[in-house]
Amino acid sequence: MVVRVLVVDEQALFRAGIRQLLVGADGFELVGEVESTEGAMGILPELSPPPDVVLIEPRGGAGMAAIRALRSGLAPAWSAVNGARRGRTPSVLAVSVRDDDDSVVAAMRAGVSGYITKRASEQELLRAIEIVAEDGAVFSAGIARRLGEYFSEPCAMSYRSAFPQLTIRETQVLDLLARGWNNGRIAKDLVLAEKTVRNYVSQILGKLDVRYRMEAVVRAREAGLGI
């Protein structure tokens, strides 16, 4: 599988570096590079099939709103071409100079599937793209460690009382989502068809009243799952 990537970043130097990296790597295709979310929305209709992964630099509140808008625009574009085949929308990977907790959690709530810093090595970035393309979650090492510490605080409420609306099986799936597992790995672990796992994920999102997997992951880890 070739992972199709769209890059959204206002820094021309960064976009050039990503272009050089992807062109020289097997299994990746750069399908577009733009300065802004508006630019990304403008070229989406021209991309067929749509990208698997969007790299974006989130910048403050406007950046989070941009991520939500981008995902909203990506969903119908993807479904029109690939919805029946893969049943998913493109994943958003945040690549930022900032790694403070507020920025990371805000990006997660906005719907990103991963968050790494621009200090990451080329191999770390390529691996992160692969992980989110397969519905996984990924974070730079320092961010992952801090998130683990944050979500393991004693104040985390019991998931049993946190998600009474979920069935036992749905809770199992949510726990594995919170560990960063993709649908394929969950299906293998629970001995289910991948389509069945996708259905469980859709049911979980609906019952938790969230739109994106990462929002469900945030809720799950706050409740003590996936740790």
CA 63 to chain centre: 15
Residue 162: pLDDT over 60: yes
- pLDDT band with cut points at 50, 70 and 90 for residue 148: low
Other beta carbons within 10 Å of 208: 18
- The domain 3-149 is placed in CATH, from the list 3.40.50.2300, 3.40.718.10, 3.40.1410.10, 3.40.640.10, at 3.40.50.2300
Three-state DSSP state, 64:
helix
Q: Which of 178, 180, 59 is nearest to 130 (CA)?
A: 180
Answer for the pair 115, 132: CB distance below 8 angstroms, yes or no. Answer: no
Q: Kindly give the interhelix angle for 60-86 and 101-110, rounded to the nearest 10 degrees.
A: 40
Other beta carbons within 10 Å of 93: 23
* pLDDT given for residue 7 in this prediction: 94
pTM score, whole prediction: 0.66
- Give the residue extent of every domain in the chain: 3-149, 153-222
Q: CATH topology for 153-222?
A: Arc Repressor Mutant, subunit A (1.10.10)
Give per-residue pLDDT as tens, 23-77: 999 999 999 999 887 888 788 778 878 889 999 987 766 667 777 777 766 555 5
Q: Which of 169, 194, 166 is nearest to 181 (CA)?
A: 194
Give per-residue pLDDT as tens, 86-110: 445 778 999 998 887 778 878 888 8
Give per-residue pLDDT as tens, 191-200: 889 999 999 9
